[in-house]
A = this chain, B = another copy of it.
Amino acid sequence: MVDSFNEVILLLDFYGGLLTDKQRLIMSYHYEQDMSLSEISEELHISRQAVHDVIKRSEKVLKGYEKELGLVERFNYQKIKMIEIEILLKRNNDENSFKALDMLKELINM
């Protein structure tokens, strides 16, 4: 099961560009810079309730995009499959396999 906090961080990675500037800023403060609602409220001169509402609304928007596009689910699946491929190629222990593995890692994480 995916931890909800980490889930939102991943959702932000994938769909953050689709939020408004204000939503993205507040979500970044809260989820990436670990600021409390009170700290964000003081920083932006808006009420704590307003900060809370933006966060809840943004989470809903992000989850809506994930429901339609499934990029986080795909990413999590790719991570597992990548480990399997890595085990397979490392067993080969030859130059081509290691080079292919490096290219593959670059490909998935781009």
Contacts and interface: CB of A to CB of B under 8 A. Distances in A.
B85 A103 contact: yes
Interface in A84-99: 84-85, 88-89, 91-92, 94, 96-97, 99
A69 interface: yes
A104 B92 contact: no
A54 B39 CA distance: 44
Q: Is the interface of A mostly helix, strand, loop or mixed?
A: helix
Interface stretch (A10-18, A29-37, A40-48): A10-18
Interface of A: 14-15, 17-18, 65, 68-69, 71, 74, 77-78, 81-82, 84-85, 88-89, 91-92, 94, 96-97, 99-100, 103-104, 106-108, 110
